[in-house]
Amino acid sequence: MKMSYLKRINLNLLPMKGHYFLWNAGTAPVVAFMSVYAKQLGFSSFTVGIVYTVLPFSGMLAKPLMGAVADRYRCQKLIFLIGQVIAAAAFFSMMFLPEVPKAGSSNIHFSCNSSEAALKTCPNSDKCTFEHIRDEVIDSEVTCEMNCPLTAKNWDTVCKDWGGKDYCVSHAESLSFKAHVPMKHAVPIGDCVYFKVNKITFENGNSTYPNCLPEHQITALCDIKCDSYIISDLVAHSTKFDEENVHLKYQFWLLLIIYLIAWDAQAVTISISDTICFQLLGDKPHKYGHQRMYGALGWGLFSLISGILVDHFSEGEKKNYVPVFSIAVGTLLLCVIVSYQIQYTQQRMSASILRDVCRLLANIKVFIFVLWCFSIGLCTALMWNFLFWLLEELAANHGCEMQSWIKTIEGLVLGIQCLGGELPFFFLSSWILKKVGHVNVMSLVLLVIGVRFIFYSVITNPWYTLPIEFCNGLTFGLFYATMASYASIVAPPGTEATTQGLVGAVFEGIGVSVGSFLGGLFFQEFGASMAFRIFGISALVACLLHAGVQYLLQRREDRIYLLGH
């Protein structure tokens, strides 16, 4: 029984399975955090949006270009291995990216009147931020180092009312002191937060309880640095980022270049790995899902593990991403070793790759297939980039308690998408494609995307999205298996890598890029729920059009076949 089972296993495909698992396990920890890592480095959402607009277009060019080189010079495996090494090097470099400086120092309003001394900041954060802070640190006291510019009248107050005799002889331009801030006295008023200053300590070590007479009030905009991230984080939210001059900062270009290298290396590796996989499968391209499901397993497991590691090794205001970068680099280097074991030799070569690809696109069925890939890319962009925005908007509508759970919900969403959706459907894709056929599956994917998005548009509680995430098996797992296998079937001999690169470029480079732009525009104009509804209805319309056109094409082929016989 055991020997019979082993005979059924294609040992040549084991390294391919290992590659898919290790590659996705190595990229998941980094790719999942690249955008928020850029945010932690000090880049605004606008700047990160620019970066993520450039990346898909870069990948769109890299895939067919390197695919053509691989086909022309018969070096698919070499480029395949080099892409993995470059991706690992880029991930390693990300750990050393410098933070971008803010436009100006962190500052806060300090005021002293007859009632009390207080700090005031008006952060651009949500309404639950203050409630969360009070729950965390209500009994603590924060010490802040402050430097405040004072007028001559203010100096008299410091000298006489505060007991700062050392400042009576000579007045400097600013006063440096430590402010002791009990968090239990923090009060939100409107969009601002007020912190009572309990006492201050001068540079000489003397302390006093600040009290200002009505005629000697102090108001100043002071530089501040606190020993706790609580106030510092609020002040940082109210510090303006220099959007207009970000392109002049070397930190921006360094991040963009390293992100581009990482993105392109991934794009090329994925495209050529699929090409190699299909050539190993030979006349059984429908078995692709049995190989690719190991990638879904690696991504799902390591995306969950990476989130836990980031939280576990982080202290204070900043997240520590070093553990996940290290795991990613180590896993990718192991992936290179396993990928090297793939027994593969590229045999076929097209006499004219460009001519064959152009002839391929002239086929009406292939052209419709390319349009289908573009349509799925539009919708995938909304899921990749804006689903969490929808969940956080729904959580905000349910109050602060729901918002405290939102990251857990988002983690569960990713877990269900990969392990509960993609993994089983990659496994079942072979059987489904044989029973249903590639063309019918294409219509089915559009139908499920439309229904899924409409469900998103009507739910009111973010927890309700969890059952919907099982649909990801159809909308991505089955979709990707269909896209890759159909591209392999229609590719002329010797153009396999070029065709895979072209299809991937249409899906991710054009579809995802345009979808990201439209999704952001619709979110801004119509809101999260309506944006998903518009995309959902459009997907259903595309499903009907696709099914109708395919039906007419099939009738035409049947008529031609009958006339020929």
C-alpha dist (Å) from residue 287 to 112, 290, 293, 339, 368: 74, 6, 11, 19, 24
64 and 197 share one domain:
no
Cβ 137 vs Cβ 231: under 8 Å = no
| Residue 4 counted as domain residue | no
Pairwise CA distance, residues 269 & 385, whole Å: 23
C-alpha dist (Å) from residue 449 to 153, 348, 443, 537, 542: 68, 37, 10, 9, 11
Q: List % helix, strand, coil for the chain (3-state, nearest 5).
A: 70, 10, 20
Q: At what angle do helices 479-490 and 288-312 cross, to 10 degrees?
A: 140
Q: Is 48 left (phi over 0), alpha (psi -120 to 50) or beta?
A: alpha
Amino acid 59: pLDDT: 78
Q: Is residue 147 classed as helix, strand or coil in its secondary structure? A: strand
DSSP run (H or E) holding 32: none
Q: Is residue 187 classed as helix, strand or coil in its secondary structure? A: strand
Amino acid 168: pLDDT: 66
Q: Is residue 400 classed as helix, strand or coil in its secondary structure? A: helix
One-letter amino acid for residue 414 of the chain? L
Pairwise CA distance, residues 39 & 308, whole Å: 19
361 and 481 share one domain:
yes
309 and 387 share one domain:
no
44 and 115 share one domain:
no
Q: Where are the alpha helices (DSSP H) in 238-287?
A: 250-281
Sign of CA dihedral 166, 171, 172, 174: positive
What is the pTM assigned to this prediction? 0.67
CA atoms within 13 A on the CB side of 36: 13
Tokens of 171: 């007045």
Pairwise CA distance, residues 529 & 465, whole Å: 13
DSSP run (H or E) holding 314: none
Cβ 352 vs Cβ 71: under 8 Å = no
How far the first Cα of the chain sits from its last, in Å, is 49
Tokens of 294: 């190991």
338 and 396 share one domain:
no
280 and 212 share one domain:
no
Amino acid 1: pLDDT: 45
Tokens of 106: 């962190």
Amino acid 51: pLDDT: 78
> 300: buried, middle or exposed (CB in 10 Å: 19+, 13-18, 0-12)?
buried
Question: Which regions in the chain score pLDDT beneath 70?
Answer: 1-11, 32, 36, 44-46, 49, 101-106, 114-115, 123-139, 164-171, 215-216, 229-247, 286, 307, 311, 314-318, 345-357, 360-361, 399-408, 494-498, 501, 561-565
Amino acid 106: pLDDT: 67
Sorted by sequence, the CB contacts under 8 Å of residue 555 that are 6+ apart come out as none
| Residue 512 counted as domain residue | yes
Last residue of a domain, one of 237, 254, 280: 237
213 and 337 share one domain:
no
Last residue of a domain, one of 310, 342, 374: 342
* Residue span of the structural domain in which 96 resides: 9-101+245-342
Nearest one of 27, 514, 49 to 243, comparing CA atoms? 49
Last residue of a domain, one of 342, 370, 389: 342
Pairwise CA distance, residues 24 & 445, whole Å: 23
CATH code: domain of residue 265: 1.20.1250.20
Tokens of 536: 């959902």
57 and 148 share one domain:
no
Q: Is residue 547 classed as helix, strand or coil in its secondary structure? A: helix
| Residue 349 counted as domain residue | no
Greatest Cα pair distance in the chain: 112
DSSP run (H or E) holding 180: strand 174-182
How many folded domains does the chain comprise?
Answer: 3
| Residue 514 counted as domain residue | yes
DSSP run (H or E) holding 436: helix 423-436
Q: What is residue 460's DSSP assignment?
A: -
Q: Where are the alpha helices (DSSP H) in 95-215?
A: 129-137, 152-160
| Residue 272 counted as domain residue | yes
Amino acid 64: pLDDT: 74
Amino acid 175: pLDDT: 84
One-letter amino acid for residue 405 of the chain? W
111 and 211 share one domain:
yes
| Residue 557 counted as domain residue | yes
**91-110 core/surface letters (b: 16 or more CB in 10 A; e: else):** bbbbeeeeebeeeeebbbbb
| Residue 350 counted as domain residue | no
173 and 278 share one domain:
no
Cβ 426 vs Cβ 477: under 8 Å = yes
Nearest one of 381, 101, 94 to 259, comparing CA atoms? 94
Pairwise CA distance, residues 413 & 407, whole Å: 10
| Residue 536 counted as domain residue | yes
One-letter amino acid for residue 27 of the chain? T
Tokens of 548: 């109708």
220 and 267 share one domain:
no
Q: Is residue 303 classed as helix, strand or coil in its secondary structure? A: helix
C-alpha dist (Å) from residue 187 to 108, 173, 184, 192: 15, 31, 8, 9
Amino acid 469: pLDDT: 92
Pairwise CA distance, residues 177 & 148, whole Å: 9
18 and 88 share one domain:
yes
Pairwise CA distance, residues 466 & 417, whole Å: 9
